[in-house]
Amino acid sequence: MPPAPSSGGQGESYNAMGPVWISMALIIGSLIAWFFWHTYLVAFYFHVKLVEIDMIQFFTLALEDTKQFILNTPAATVTMDQAENIAATIGHYLKIPVSLMLMLMAMLLYFKSALGKYKNSYTMKTLTEHQLAVWPYLTPVVNLNLIEIDIDEGPWAMAMQPMYFAKRYQLLQLEKVGSQPGQLRKAETTNVTLLQNRAIRLFRMQLGSLWTNPEKLPIHVKALFAAFAAKALRASEESRSFLDKLSASSGEGKPDFSDVEGLFKKYINHPEILKVTEKHAYVLTVMASVIEFARLDGVLATAEFLWLKPLDRRLWFMLNCVGRRTAFVEVSAPFAHWLAEKEMGRKIVTPMIDEAVKALDQALKEIKYNPDKES
């Protein structure tokens, strides 16, 4: 027994017949309109044709007979053949100007349409160079071919995966496990355990410097602090132009920091900013809260200071994690400490990194160890 046709095929057949039914409806509707409203339709038709004849008579009087026929013939007596003859006679004179007008409109559409403006073909590099004026944040990478560089190597490497991080910093204790009795295939597996004490020491180092004397901060930290503070205090244009200048001057790797000190001193002791900085003990946690404060005034993406990534990778990833539910393992300790300070509402000098260690341990348990791979 042949299978029943699918509903999809029936739908396609119905859709294909749609234009046919519409055409038939238009023809039948036109005939009905001609039969019942013949006089009104012809009267309107004659009015339109008289307007066309008046325009043509600026150039020639050859349509005078047609004009007189329209003026002297009752609309009720006009047949369809007579209406067609009038249209053909007038159309003979209109076809040239109408054709020229259509050609002009086509040319305007071709040369003035939005689609006609897209005439250039760009590579990724040339498109990046073309967009520099609009997006100066691209400057640090415009002359780099990152596609050809290993994604896990160099200053532009992506964030480390937990297993790769643990291997790199020797945080794993390995235990070889042989085949179990009854297994058909003999295979040796490796169980890994996080070395807790080593992880704790490493995560303490991740916290970085204490926030003690802002005047002695590295110049790039001062620059970003000033930009974030300006935006937080509703000086959005000042902040944006400052970040744009830093990005635009970063083509050789290091931005122009000549204007940093003035902007930094303008905002470092502002009461609203001090309310934020006084609640955190470390430079990384202060910077995280300052950018969070700045975002109350609108979007502030880490892409706007892309130059920071090769210059201070840990700070860049810390700022990049603000707003996320979880942090990259490279900054999991300062991120955990930052959350603890926010929860307590005050600065904490003692490293609050237990949750970061637990998270790394949990992540490693969910990843199968492969000695031949780094992630």
Per-residue pLDDT band at 47 (split at 50, 70, 90): confident
Asked if the model's pLDDT at residue 119 lies above 90, the reply is no
Per-residue pLDDT band at 118 (split at 50, 70, 90): confident
Q: Identify the pLDDT of residue 185.
A: 57
Q: Identify the pLDDT of residue 316.
A: 96
Under the phi-then-psi rule, with left for phi > 0, alpha for psi from -120 to 50, and beta for the rest, what region is 323?
A: left
Contact 341, 285 (CB under 8 A): yes
Please write the tens of the pLDDT for every residue from 239-258. Answer: 999 999 999 998 876 898 99
Q: Over the range 347-368, which residues count as b (16 or more CB within 10 Å of their CB) and which as e?
A: bbeebbbeebbebbbebbeeee
Average pLDDT of span 91-111: 85
Highest mean pLDDT of the ranges 74-78, 222-226, 244-248? 222-226
Q: Identify the pLDDT of residue 182.
A: 59
H-assigned helices in the chain: 7-36, 38-56, 64-72, 80-112, 124-130, 162-168, 196-206, 219-232, 236-248, 260-267, 271-277, 283-294, 308-311, 313-321, 332-344, 354-365
Pick the range with the lowest mean pLDDT from 17-21, 81-85, 114-118, 143-147: 114-118
Is 150 or 83 the better-scoring residue by pLDDT? Answer: 150
Q: State the number of CA atoms in the 13 A half-sphere of 30 facing the CB.
A: 8
Contact 232, 272 (CB under 8 A): yes
Asked if the model's pLDDT at residue 3 lies above 50, the reply is no
Per-residue pLDDT band at 180 (split at 50, 70, 90): low
Average pLDDT of span 279-284: 97
Best CA proximity match to 284, nearest among 212, 238, 339, 335: 335
Per-residue pLDDT band at 129 (split at 50, 70, 90): confident
Pick the range with the lowest mean pLDDT from 26-30, 83-87, 117-121: 117-121
- Indicate the average pLDDT of the chain: 86
Is 374 or 112 the better-scoring residue by pLDDT? Answer: 112
Highest mean pLDDT of the ranges 123-127, 138-142, 286-290, 324-328? 286-290
Pick the range with the lowest mean pLDDT from 54-63, 148-157, 273-282, 323-332: 54-63
Q: Identify the pLDDT of residue 57.
A: 80
Is 122 or 186 the better-scoring residue by pLDDT? Answer: 122
Q: Identify the pLDDT of residue 28.
A: 86
Best CA proximity match to 75, nearest among 43, 34, 47: 43
| Residue ranges of domains in the chain | 10-116, 123-180+188-375
Is 30 or 9 the better-scoring residue by pLDDT? Answer: 30
Q: What angle do CA 115, 118, 122 make, to 5 degrees?
A: 150
- The encoded tokens of residue 132 equal 């520099």
Is 251 or 186 the better-scoring residue by pLDDT? Answer: 251
Q: Identify the pLDDT of residue 352.
A: 96
Per-residue pLDDT band at 184 (split at 50, 70, 90): low
Asked if the model's pLDDT at residue 357 lies above 80, the reply is yes
Q: Identify the pLDDT of residue 54.
A: 83
Asked if the model's pLDDT at residue 12 lies above 60, the reply is no
- The encoded tokens of residue 244 equal 């744009």
Report the percent of the chain where pLDDT is more than 90: 48
Contact 363, 162 (CB under 8 A): yes
Per-residue pLDDT band at 181 (split at 50, 70, 90): low
Report the percent of the chain where pLDDT is more than 70: 91
Average pLDDT of span 322-346: 95
